[in-house]
A and B are shown apart, each in its own frame.
Chain A
Amino acid sequence: MLNAKSLETHSERNKMESVEQMTLPGGLTVLVQPVSGVESASFSFLLPGGSAALPDGCCGAAAVLNDWLFRGAGPYDSRRLVEELDGIGLHRQSSVSPEYLSYGGSLESENLSRALELYADILLRPRLEEDLFEPSRQLARQELEALDDDPRQKVSVCLYERFYPDPLGRPCVGKEEDLRQLTPSQTKILKERLFAWSGAVLAAAGKIDTHAFLKHIERLFGEIPPSRECPPVLRAAAGGYQHFPNPGAQVHIGFMTEVPPFDSPMYYSIMAACMVLGGGMSSRLFTEVREKRGLCYAVGTRYHSLRSCAGIAGYAGTTPDKAEETLSVILSEFRRLRNGISEDELLRAKTGLKSTLIMQNESTSARASRLAADWFYLKRIRPLEEIRQAIESLRIQSIQEFLDGPYGRKFTFVSFGPQPLQTLQKKE
């Protein structure tokens, strides 16, 4: 076996739960964390080269490929493959992000090795038969169409498209004009561009025998030829404000402001600030917009990061006559946060971050995802103790340093509703 090394040792109770790492010749990094007291196992593949790696005119090819991959692989035709996956009770997930494709799932641990054999077929030997391409393309088009029926979801898609530099913000679900023209042969070629094994990671957590697992993976994925990610050339983000006419009952407002990405030393300060602003039920937005004024049912913020850029993104849904007031309260809360947060708010944010960290650890699926994400963004695994200490050492001052940066100085907005928001139109 290749040199596997131990990366992480947890606190006393989890001493046995260290992370082993192995990098295969093709570049795939394997991370495995055995967890005591559980019967399940979860795994997550991240392949660098997501929707932003696609050339112009191919938006949505990754979504089509994601469906096409599961229509037969290795010795199995489409039906057999799904029967095999279902037969082991796998709860699978796959998704397209701007910078990676991810494939994974959770199941009872005794079936993990079988699941990975099937994923070796799917990812390395997909059949991609031409006559099965059309339904994959049709499904992608239908999902894109259906997005119009869900303005709340569509707000996020349109917000990212305006906020991030092109092509990072391109909709992973695709664009109608591109999906219409996509061909099977083109998509096959694009697969090579989308599957950059040299920076890929496979993370697994749960009831796993590390040694046997690594040996098995080496046998399944040991001979992949290296293939490098081609980073996209970035063009300036559109930013500003865009309104989409929509005859619904509510106005759906999305807003986003730039903050440092995941690998920034300010990461924990950002997370704390984001919680204070719009993360929980005692957050400022929830209190001012919903609890005090009854303007919205749904209002909140979240941190969204890619490798090189990130933002605090938010959403509010409200009936048209309250939209201007909602926006004005939100913007004033973004501004007021710059004056700093209180000791009590800091304490609540720290407790919230710590309990999220520990409770996520109870799910093997969340563990596998965290390992994969750490490796993808940081090229290392943050030990739990490091995260705990970083949260513990947060001070009002460190959060203020973040708030004094570009945070909240410039916004990107989108809205769906009967009328554009007057306040924003005047600014434009």
Chain B
Amino acid sequence: MQFQHTQLENGLTIIGEVNPTAQSAAFGFFVRTGSRDETSSVNGVSHFLEHMLFKGTEDLSSLEVNEAFDRLGAKFNAFTSEENTVYYAAVLPEYFLAAVELWCRLMRPALRIDDFDVEKKVILEEIAMYKDLPEFQVIDQARQLHFGSHPCANSVLGTEESIGNLTAEQMRDYFRRRYAPNNLVAACCGQFDFDQTCRLIERYCGSWQTMEAGRSLSYFEGTGQQCRQTKEGLNSEHICLMSPSVSMQDPRRYAASLLSLIIGDSTGSRFFWALVDPAIADTAVMQCEAMDGVGIFSSYFRCPARNRQKVLQIVQDIFRELAEKGVSEKELNAAKNKVLSAITIESERPMGRLVSLGFNWVYLKSYRSVSEDVQAVKAVTIDQINDLIREYPLHKYTQVSIGPADVL
């Protein structure tokens, strides 16, 4: 594996990890923009814009875009989060440059009003679809409650109202400000030629204008508020807890991620033994989400509605015990082995590697090889984990639950 990187004069960064023995190659544009960069009047625009990029350019219709990707046999898509919008494609090596060229063209979309109007209906359908997924709803609402006035509270999808009122002109304005070359990273992985790829990207993107595309960064502990909602037709109780954690810039993110596995991996964790093994809840998981300047531990539980109080009591006991006694060497070793095998499996596919590669650059402006990640995981100590528990008290959480009406 060989890492290379360069920056165009307008600020667009190109990074690549070349693996000549890979059977495919993956490419992605990482745009440092998401719902936290939106004002309430355009809430949902980042995600809507992500859809609109597939609608083509001045010379390409949306049908031609989809056909062009499918003609390359590409596994292509995009996703939007609170702070990133990522466009990607994985292809066989012989189609790599064609896929890169297509993405470069699409990054300067036409944003036609007819396409905007049809796609608005699709976005409203997507919002409706997630309304029928309580697991998604509860996490989305917990995030809003936890972050309160912090921009990370902004919903990625937006609301029926904000999307309904959004105009194409507002989207064009947001696009101009946020899709500046200095706010983009082009990442490549697998079997490809770095210099050739750079020349191609420069040809298409070299003339794009640099713009100020900042982001307000502030740490936020969370509101610690609680709420329960009822919903007709639900059978189970869906609970989400969020508490503060480290940011992506914090080197302790490896320790935080191991801690979340010790507490809430789907097997063998504290949650597993206390909740899933005795069938009090059928799902009980925790994740550490390290973000730009801020972070959360996020837990999700699904249980029969009658077990809601019991689940919350047990979780509080687990958090108290962790604060008092910390974690054990055995727990830490198991968590490390799980992470290490996940890294190994993920890095065997260029598409798996692309996301880590891209995000490391977006957040840290640095390259981390697979072996550096492995070393960082191995180096985490019990003391570091126990210090984290003290610094980020797990019991200070925000809580949202959604369940049926007729249960106390």
Contacts and interface: CB of A to CB of B under 8 A. Distances in A.
A79 interface: yes
Contact of A89 (B23, B92, B128, B337): B337
Given A106-B341, A139-B276, A86 B63 contact: no
B349 interface: yes
Given A40-B341, A291-B118, A354 B71 contact: no
Nearest to A349: B70
B118 A86 contact: no
A86 B125 contact: no
Contacts of A291: 62-63, 66, 118
Nearest to A319: B128
B285 interface: no
Given A87-B337, A91-B341, A148-B235, A294 B121 contact: yes
B345 A362 contact: no
B72 interface: yes
A192 interface: no
Nearest to A365: B345
Contacts of B393: none
A134 B279 contact: yes
Interface string A64-90: 000000000000001100110111111
B23 A362 contact: yes
Interface residues of B, number: 75
A210 to B, nearest CB: 19
B268 A282 contact: no
Given A286-B66, A287-B63, A317 B129 contact: yes
B404 to A, nearest CB: 9
A250 B341 contact: no
Contact of B119 (A78, A247, A294): A294
B186 to A, nearest CB: 21
Interface in B114-163: 117-126, 128-129, 131-135
B341 A107 contact: yes
Interface in A318-335: 318-319, 322
Nearest to B123: A297
A246 B54 CA distance: 33
B340 A108 contact: yes
Interface in B90-116: 90-92, 95
Contacts of B121: 293-295
B132 A281 contact: no
B277 interface: yes
B408 interface: no
B195 interface: no
Given A108-B340, A142-B303, A142-B304, A135 B278 contact: yes
A387 interface: no
B131 to A, nearest CB: 4
Contacts of A40: 341, 344-345, 348
A363 B22 CA distance: 11
Interface string B17-33: 00001111000000000
Q: What are the 9 closest A-B residue pairs judged by CB atoms, nearest first?
A: A355-B73, A294-B121, A89-B337, A138-B279, A89-B341, A351-B73, A86-B268, A282-B66, A135-B279
Interface of B: 21-24, 54, 62-63, 66-67, 69-76, 90-92, 95, 117-126, 128-129, 131-135, 232-236, 238, 265, 267-268, 272-273, 276-279, 281-283, 302-304, 330, 333-334, 336-342, 344-345, 348-351
Given A359-B351, A365-B345, 7 more contacts: A86-B267, A134-B279, A146-B302, A249-B132, A294-B119, A295-B121, A295-B125
26 contacts: A40-B345, A86-B267, A86-B268, A108-B340, A143-B282, A146-B302, A148-B233, A248-B131, A249-B128, A250-B128, A252-B132, A281-B54, A293-B121, A294-B120, A295-B121, A295-B125, A298-B129, A319-B124, A354-B73, A355-B72, A355-B75, A358-B23, A359-B90, A363-B345, A363-B348, A363-B349
